[in-house]
A and B are shown apart, each in its own frame.
Chain A
Amino acid sequence: MIAVIDYGIGNLASITNALNRLNIPAVISRSISTIEKADCLILPGVGAAGEGMRNLQKSGLDKVIKKEIIKGKKFLGICLGMQLLFERSEEGNVECLGLLKGRVKKFKRERKVPQIGWNQVRIKNAELGIKNKLFNKISDKSYFYFVNSFYCTPEDKSLIVGETEYGEKFASVIIKNNIIATQFHPEKSGILGIKLLNNIIKYFSLHSL
């Protein structure tokens, strides 16, 4: 069972609508026991970092998520759900979950901020196995839907398997062991996004064997 973590913000229905299309059962939940029992966690997208962290802390979900990820539970972070994995965000200067080393920075003002729209993902650093599974039937430089003012700068650049350019290059897909995260919204990226979501779910279950 997949648990989509409800922390008071986020486009929760969009994620479950996308998973429903794939006939993948998922529950939206803020219950600690449901999150502990789930095989896979999704931390969804829309929201501000400060409010997101505060809501997680208020309900104690920050500790649960950290504990479960460290134990090896499969985890998909989307947009803000990716950014919260890192140590600190410039958005409200808040401390985040700190599961990955690095910071979350704001786009420079030379371009319109937020970045809103479809941008290309360049596949990089990906070992053949990852490429075949994660990007199965998704060609290099495919378009996905972004809505972000901030972006992640992982210390370990080898985590980056997808990169996008908006004035500067930034990490748009990262993988580390049981963690996958995307800066764009696969649940809002048309048929290709649904395909990627399916690939991610498949990738996760293959890994558990």
Chain B
Amino acid sequence: MLTKRIIPCLDMTAGKVVKGIQFINFKNAGDPVVLANKYDTEGADELVFLDITATVENRNILIDVVEKTARQVTIPFSVGGGIRAAADMRLLLKSGADKVSINTGAFKNPKLISNCANAFGNQCVVLSMDVRKTGSQKWNVFINGGNIDTGVSALVWAKQAVIQGAGEILLTSIDNDGTKTGFDVDLTRIISSRVSVPVIASGGAGKLTDFVDILIRGKADAALAASVFHFGEFTIAKVKNYLKKNGIPIRI
């Protein structure tokens, strides 16, 4: 049986792992190579690496940090940040990434998704979207590191991205990010039940029960978290054991 996945996330800026709250007030969380190695050993199902300032600073991702981190991991490694062309994706795959996530670049140019999917297969194109609640049962997509409201509904963009060839969606709630108040279950359930590809829920993990909620009620295929792992609240193993106890298929 296919298991649900628990995914630690390394938000990167200037070669260091950082973690903010609602995309601001970033705190240093350590060295990516050390953390990658630790999470791999603890039983993480995958590792996500996002260069969160590449787009805003209009630069390419730091390839040498990607290479060094990739060498540490025996599990799948997704990398994103500042991807604007299929050539950027080719370089990341060469540097040790297994999947590449695209966010602002894809929103500005949806053809980027199909170009990448045609060249590398849709299973290796992750559409990353940052979403903020803008009304009752209404969520908009934000780009440029969460700075610009596109006015486009999250569900509309998710569906369009899947048609273009995205193989997976990394769905981040900006409102819940770093707050440890739980994932946005409603948002995730709506997106996950309406698209044909796996959805990774992100933003808000704080308690063990939050993981159960998002995987069962939120219908997420995977749960991503950063703060709770970086700052030592839980180990990956603790979360996975708790999920297993609650009857969720998980790899221990």
Contact = CB atoms under 8 A, between A and B. Distances in A.
Nearest to B3: A118
24 contacts: A9-B120, A11-B96, A11-B124, A13-B96, A14-B98, A18-B74, A46-B120, A46-B124, A47-B120, A48-B122, A51-B118, A112-B196, A114-B168, A117-B45, A118-B2, A118-B3, A120-B1, A143-B251, A147-B124, A149-B123, A149-B167, A166-B2, A185-B76, A188-B75
A11 B124 CA distance: 10
Contacts of A48: 117-122
A173 interface: no
Interface in A135-174: 143, 145-149, 165-166
Interface of A: 9-14, 17-18, 20-21, 46-48, 51, 80, 109, 112-120, 143, 145-149, 165-166, 185, 187-191, 193-194
B213 interface: no
A21 B98 contact: no
B97 interface: yes
A20 B73 CA distance: 12
A17 B1 contact: no
Contacts of B98: 11, 14, 46, 147, 185, 188
B117 A116 contact: no
Interface residues of B, number: 38
Contact of B121 (A12, A13, A47, A118): A47
A7 B70 CA distance: 21
A12 B221 contact: no
A112 B198 contact: yes
A171 B124 CA distance: 21
Nearest to B76: A188
Given A117-B45, A147-B123, A188-B98, 6 more contacts: A10-B93, A13-B95, A48-B117, A112-B198, A113-B197, A189-B75
A interface: dominant SS: mixed
Interface of B: 1-5, 40, 43, 45, 67, 70-71, 74-77, 93-99, 117-124, 167-168, 196-198, 221-222, 251
Given A13-B95, A46-B98, A115 B122 contact: no
A113 B76 contact: no
B221 A112 contact: yes
A57 to B, nearest CB: 16
A119 B3 CA distance: 6
* B45, B77, B121, B251, most chain A CB atoms within 10 A: B121
Nearest to A45: B98
Contacts of A9: 93, 119-121
